[in-house]
Amino acid sequence: MHSFDLCIIGAGPAGLLAGIIAASAGSRVILLEKNPEAGKKLLLTGKGRCNLTHAASSAKEITEAFGKNGRFLHSGLSRFGIAETFRFFENLGIPLKVERGNRVFPESGSAKDVRDRLLEEFSRKGGVFRMNCPVHALETSPRMVNRVLLKDKSVIEASRFIIATGGLSYPRTGSTGDGYRWAKTLGHTINPTLPALSPVRLAEGWVREVSGLSLKNVRLTLLVDGKETESRFGELDFTPFGISGPIGMDLSRNIGYALNQQQKTELKLDLKPALDFKSLDRRILRELNVAGSKPISAVLETLMPKKLIPPFARLCSLSLEQKTATLTKEKRLELSRLLKAVTLKPLSLLGFKWSLITSGGISLDEVDPRTMASKLTENLYFAGEILDLDAPTGGYNLQACWTTGYVAGISAAALPPGCHRNS
């Protein structure tokens, strides 16, 4: 049997940060990870480049990204916000850079560099790391966690515990919902979980023709029961089954909710959001006049990527060999309308296997936002994706991991060894 001041389950971003902070404060910390390596999901973030935060102008910008649940982060961000995150990583020897859309990356462009430096710092502060160490169960008494039972039959005793096991997304990285099950046995409410930041499967067969195409500076709008509910501007990727990329994945959470509620769900893709309908129509008219007797494909090439032209022409019932001079006003207006609003029909999300994060999780009503402590169990804390917090792409979700990890780590370390909050 091994005894520590603090036992952290899950060596993802929140668990690693919590471990460093608690060990820096003098606590004897053990970090348990069921995988053969730490931070497997962290290695995937930002397409392997690690979009580790968002260079927001204020904490409010961060909290608003999380919708109604964002207020939970107010207290934590006042202690470990954007400035503190920059300072922390730069002090670790990881210089940062701000890219388009205020996305923040390490200058090295390597998520592995970030993961490795976090592990090194945890060890340097005296933390104990055990990998290949799946937890079987938490042994509890009323309102207390007493120890952790490992699958190899060994036992870890500690005064305090942090669960930072993530959600259900990318289960191959180890996120299989273990923490939800343990929290539920302790009386915690688990709000319904759904994939978020997920690729979207579409009904349209033509998307297979344009698989691999990436569109920049387009607008995608979600309509639920005929009403526009949300819109995103930026980059959209086509896949063999539908769409991905930042703006498609940002809308996926609410697409999933609408589909689950069996509501009519549509997407409108605006290929020319910088132009209103009249301006776009005037531009097309100019292109037609310049093209003269050329085929209509010559005009379409000025309006969209070549790969998109064949399916787009079919949607407009246009022959690519048709001469531009024969295009009627009605067809021209139809072309303008379609450029402003290509209809896409979502069928489903690709599920947790391919989603970047989990929507839903441990109810925030049962967690103290000032400490990340459970309101139901005296020596238990939560951090990271296990909490009911999710936001769009752009570094927001990792910032929530750093913030909640910091608060959980410093709060657990502040409790004298062997003592509990209400003793």
The sign one gets for the Cα dihedral 17, 368, 394, 206 is positive
**Ranges assigned E (strand) in 173-300:** 190-196, 200-202, 214-224, 227-238, 242-244, 265-270
Q: Are 221 and 270 in contact (CB under 8 A)?
A: yes
Instruction: With beta carbons less than 8 A apart as the criterion, state whether 162 and 408 touch.
Output: yes
Q: Give the chain's domains with CATH numbers.
A: 2-195+355-414 (3.50.50.60), 199-350 (no CATH)
Six-digit token string for 219: 């607008």
Please tell me the distance from the alpha carbon of residue 149 to that of residue 157, in angstroms, as a whole number: 9
- Specify the pairing of strand 96-99 against strand 103-106: antiparallel
| Cα dihedral sign, 124-135-80-371 | negative
pLDDT of 421 = 45
pLDDT of residue 174: 85
Lookup: tokens for 227: 């009403």
Stated pTM of the model: 0.91
Distance of CA 120 to the CA centre of its chain: 26
Alpha carbon 316 to chain centroid, angstroms: 36
C-alpha 130/C-alpha 31 separation (Å) is: 6
* pLDDT value, residue 418: 45
- Residue 81: C-alpha distances to residues 76, 93, 324, 403 (Å): 7, 19, 56, 7
Q: Which of 148, 126, 144 is nearest to 136 (CA)?
A: 148
Query: What's the CA gap between 302 and 289, in Å, rounded?
Result: 13
Please give the C-alpha separations between residue 259 and each of 95, 179, 247, 358, in angstroms, as whole numbers: 42, 27, 18, 17
How many Cβ atoms from other residues are within 10 Å of residue 120's Cβ?
13
Q: What is the pLDDT of residue 423?
A: 36
Percent helix, strand and coil across the chain, each to the nearest 5? 40, 25, 35
d(CA 102, CA 54): 6
- Whole-Å CA distances, 133 to 9, 46, 210, 237, 271: 10, 27, 44, 38, 50
Q: For every one of its 423 residues, what pLDDT tens digit does the chain have, with 9 covering 90 and above?
A: 568 999 999 999 999 999 999 999 999 999 999 999 999 999 999 889 999 999 999 999 999 999 999 999 999 999 999 999 999 999 999 999 999 999 999 999 999 999 999 999 999 999 999 999 999 999 999 899 999 999 999 999 999 999 999 999 988 888 889 999 999 999 999 999 999 999 999 999 999 999 999 999 999 999 999 999 999 999 999 999 999 999 999 999 999 999 999 999 999 999 999 999 999 999 999 999 998 889 999 999 999 999 999 999 999 999 999 998 889 999 999 999 999 999 999 999 999 999 999 999 999 999 999 999 999 999 999 999 999 999 999 999 999 999 999 999 999 998 654 444 443
Cα atoms found within 13 Å of the Cα of residue 70, Cβ hemisphere only? 15
